[in-house]
Structure 1
Amino acid sequence: MECRISDKQMSIMDKLGILTDAAKYDVACTSSGTDRNGDGTGMGNAIKAGICHSFSGDGRCISLLKILFTNECIYDCKYCINRCSNDVPRASFTPEEVCRLTIEFYRRNYIEGLFLSSGILYSPDYTMELLYRTLFKLRREYNFQGYIHVKAIPGANPELVRLTGFLADRMSVNLELPTAEGLKKLAPNKHRKNILAPMRLIQNGITESKNEVAVYRHAPSFVPAGQSTQMIIGATGESDFQLMMVAQNLYDKFSLKRVFYSAFVQVNEDKDLPALPGGPPLLREHRLYQADWLLRFYGFHAEELLDENRPNFNVLLDPKEDWALRHLECFPVEVNRADYQTLLRVPGIGVKSAQRIVKARRSANLRFGDLKKIGVVLKRALYFITCQGRMMYNTRIEEDYITRNLLSVKEKLPAEAGGMSYRQLSLFDDVRFAARQQGISQLG
């Protein structure tokens, strides 16, 4: 089956310009999560900490080539710039062109891996076969052993998805919108069942592969870096509580590595799309990422953070501070005796600092000066902890008092010249990525 090329007069660089720009709204492409060396017969390897950026068309050295195979699409999703009813420049790569780009960019040390997604060309099966052929050619003919993240196409033949999984390091299936009702309204060609089916297939494949590798050392790996997904937030009316419950269910039922939250950007005019006078809901996106961190690493559950009576996060406080202020009966915590899980619930104490506290107190009682050296953010933690039975200052355990003091501590949020703003996570912009990661890391 040959790829339809409606852009035969375009150079490969012209296509690259169109198809990198078309991929910028897909944020689900952080690529850490696997540490796999090449076998010495090909080029490249996948190092867990080495691939965490993307390639930029303006020449900045970012290490992940992020492209669409095609921005042609048979679907008419109301929120998508590539919807079939839009009059935008269209382009399609061939499998050979994607391979050539990846290899040539790798040889020039521009990239270390590939993120490949696609619009739907002709049909899900046709598109998935093209993605499979591309990865097969890149792995087998070009001997590329670097990192590859590819999107599985909902509705495609399960066997094509399975075969592709043996060639990719990570796969993802975009949930798109949090609820079936939202999909029906804004993406009528897409169905929740078709989206969840490949997620389940990938999950089962990962489990089977791990079992086989445990028995047969050289058994082929299936999606060794796991799977992820992306939800658009703000395009439909779901509350933060609904979003968090969806995310928790995805983690619990499909063993996802990551759920990405993409603030809705209005690129189309449509009566069913919300008006955004203040721009994309990027601060909301930021709080959801912080809350997601609590689900994945801090032992929280969605129903602890929010409920039906209080369905949205306080945008002025990070979710852990907000939780602590509503549960002051749990504080103060004595850092020299509290268990690890309790320490994780203290604002200002992160995973690493909690681990260091548990280790350090085996040999001596810790004081506030020791906590600062360990990495505890005392300007947040001091309202919730004691050392040897004493608080750092004469502090009242009162919600209003602590709230006022926490709000006076300026949280580092993504900024831009000319004032404070909250910008959408984009792996096409290494400055934005670093700022967003810095903001998220303040959750402790």
Structure 2
Amino acid sequence: MNEQVLHKLKVLAESAKYDVSCSSSGTVRRNSSGGVGNTVGGWGICHSFAEDGRCISLLKVMLTNYCIYDCAYCINRISNDIPRATLSVSELVELTMEFYRRNYIEGLFLSSGVVRNPDYTMERLVRVAKDLRTIHRFNGYIHLKSIPGASRELVREAGLYADRLSVNLEIPTEANLKMLAPEKDHRSVYLPMRYIREGALESAEERKHHRHAPRFAPAGQSTQMIVGATSESDRDILKVSSALYAQPTMKRVYYSGYISVNTYDKRLPALKQPPLVRENRLYQADWLLRFYQFRVDELVDEASPDLDLEVDPKLAWALKHPEFFPVNIYTADYETLLRVPGIGVRSAKMIVMSRRFSRIGFYELKKMGAVMKKARYFITCNELPDKTIHELTPLGVRKLLVPKPKKRTDDRQLTLNFDFD
């Protein structure tokens, strides 16, 4: 690796850091005779660390940060005066193999700015994945970003070499997308999503009849939405997510708090810092939709279109529906247990299995992983609780569970310690 390639890597890795939709979960790719690497259980081995201390396993890089589009929210927009770089296909392939041989990474997350046209860019991305798989026999994890507007043939070919494909939706509504990115529309995003879905379903059907038929994007697809750049409410965002999850191949929707990288653009809000708490609440609500059998209208409605930033969405729902509680641990079914704040999927399954053989109290629930700080106000079990939500009222429970703000102290002032012991 020469100095020029390393300089390009530094520029392109910096440009790729705003894309959060990367995950090495959901696929298994075994090594073969003469091959290099594997993907075991879908979980990456963390070898490398980002500047902020996060442990990462994927080489997260862009093929190029040149782009023909002028999207207001993007650092790589054509009108920005930033360092630009482009890696050739051979340079990126060699870079990936060198990093893997040195045990720095477990796989590759590859995106790109759009140069010339979507098909030209997509063709180069496919060549990288194809060369890694066919020439270098690389069996590690590969996540490719499909370019909006790319042809069906190129998306289908990409799915034969990549473990996961993703197309970023970015802005939930068409009107706001047009306002911030006039060259784009939702049709150019949803079409590649449909191509990925069709390819995966056809591959699954073919493998029923032919055991060794090639797998198409075995880890499915994902997408990303920016939070806080436009006026959409949490209800608008979650309704889009719910519709996407109704598709069989959509595995994850990522939420990225808007970072003010183009402060000069008056179409964008002037945020001092990203809305990280709102981003976290959306991820929690997303989890409830996927694994806890909640519906969007139960979490947010027309009267309250945004999630409560003080408490998590499950606790917020419980405080609005005290009539549902307290839940009897011994008689409640699995779906009812999932509605109890502090009880997760694993805890609910263990409760259902264990209560047939032994009595369950607070200590046993805690050993099963239940967060009793929350759950104690919403359940009855072998040990009767001191007070439930009905005695304390929802407002009282909220006051007990909402963390009190810490008092700020001036570090410049001297403090006296009277602890003579």
Query: TM-score, normalised to structure 1's length?
Result: 0.87
Answering whether residue 86 of structure 2 is matched by residue 92 of structure 1, we say: yes
Q: 1:78 to 1:10 in 2, by over 3 A?
A: farther
Partner of residue 217, structure 1: 211
Q: 1:203 to 1:175 in 2, by over 3 A?
A: same
1:238-317 alignment to 2 at 5 Å?
238-253=232-247, 255-268=249-262, 269-277=264-272, 279-317=273-311
Partner of residue 400, structure 2: 405
**Pairing partner for 1:186 from 175, 180, 193:** 180
1:315-326 alignment to 2 at 5 Å?
315-326=309-320
Shift of 1:395: 3.3
Partner of residue 368, structure 2: 374
Instruction: Answer yes or no: is the 8 Å Cα contact 1:54–1:65 preserved in 2.
Output: no
Partner of residue 40, structure 1: 33
State how far apart, in whole Å, the 2-side matches of 1:223 and 1:380 are.
40
Aligned-residue identity in percent: 54
Residues 215-266 of structure 1: CA distance to partner in whole angstroms, max 9, x if unpaired?
A: 2110000000010000001000000111110100111136410000000001
Give 3-state SS (helix, strand or coil) of 2:108's partner. strand
Residues 203-223 of structure 1: CA distance to partner in whole angstroms, max 9, x if unpaired?
A: 111111111112211000000
Q: 1:10 to 1:373 in 2, by over 3 A?
A: closer
Query: TM-score, normalised to structure 2's length?
Result: 0.92
Give 3-state SS (helix, strand or coil) of 2:56's partner. coil
Answering whether residue 335 of structure 2 is matched by residue 335 of structure 1, we say: no
Coordinate RMSD, CA, aligned: 1.9
Aligned-partner residue type, residue 24 of structure 2: S
Partner of residue 74, structure 1: 68
Give 3-state SS (helix, strand or coil) of 2:16's partner. coil
**Pairing partner for 1:51 from 32, 44, 56:** 44
Give 3-state SS (helix, strand or coil) of 1:83's partner. coil
**Pairing partner for 1:20 from 9, 13, 25:** 13
State how far apart, in whole Å, the 1-side matches of 2:200 and 2:249 are.
10
Answering whether residue 18 of structure 2 is matched by residue 30 of structure 1, we say: no
Q: Which has the higher contact order (CA 8 A, sep 6+)?
A: 1
Q: 1:245 to 1:44 in 2, by over 3 A?
A: same
Shift of 1:146: 0.5
State how far apart, in whole Å, the 1-side matches of 2:389 and 2:64 are.
59
Give 3-state SS (helix, strand or coil) of 1:166's partner. helix
Partner of residue 206, structure 1: 200
Q: 1:55 to 1:20 in 2, by over 3 A?
A: farther
Partner of residue 103, structure 1: 97
State how far apart, in whole Å, the 1-side matches of 2:315 and 2:341 are.
6
Aligned pair count reads: 401
Aligned-partner residue type, residue 366 of structure 1: I
Which range is displaced more, 168-177 or 45-54? 45-54
Give 3-state SS (helix, strand or coil) of 1:66's partner. strand
Aligned-partner residue type, residue 271 of structure 1: K
Give 3-state SS (helix, strand or coil) of 1:399's partner. helix
Aligned-partner residue type, residue 25 of structure 2: S
Instruction: Answer yes or no: is the 8 Å Cα contact 1:55–1:66 preserved in 2.
Output: no
Partner of residue 161, structure 1: 155
Residues 270-299 of structure 1: CA distance to partner in whole angstroms, max 9, x if unpaired?
A: 01011114x111110010011001011111
State how far apart, in whole Å, the 1-side matches of 2:304 and 2:353 are.
37
State how far apart, in whole Å, the 1-side matches of 2:261 and 2:45 are.
27
Rg bigger for which structure? 2
Give 3-state SS (helix, strand or coil) of 2:113's partner. coil
Instruction: Answer yes or no: is the 8 Å Cα contact 2:226–2:257 preserved in 1.
Output: yes
Shift of 1:49: 4.8
Instruction: Answer yes or no: is the 8 Å Cα contact 2:325–2:389 preserved in 1.
Output: no
Instruction: Answer yes or no: is the 8 Å Cα contact 1:70–1:93 preserved in 2.
Output: yes
Answering whether residue 379 of structure 2 is matched by residue 394 of structure 1, we say: no
Partner of residue 416, structure 2: none
Instruction: Answer yes or no: is the 8 Å Cα contact 2:169–2:225 preserved in 1.
Output: yes
Give 3-state SS (helix, strand or coil) of 1:114's partner. strand
Instruction: Answer yes or no: is the 8 Å Cα contact 2:159–2:165 preserved in 1.
Output: yes
Partner of residue 428, structure 1: none
Q: 1:396 to 1:175 in 2, by over 3 A?
A: closer
Gaps of 5+ in 1: 1-8, 411-417, 419-444
Q: 1:315 to 1:52 in 2, by over 3 A?
A: farther
Q: 1:254 to 1:359 in 2, by over 3 A?
A: closer
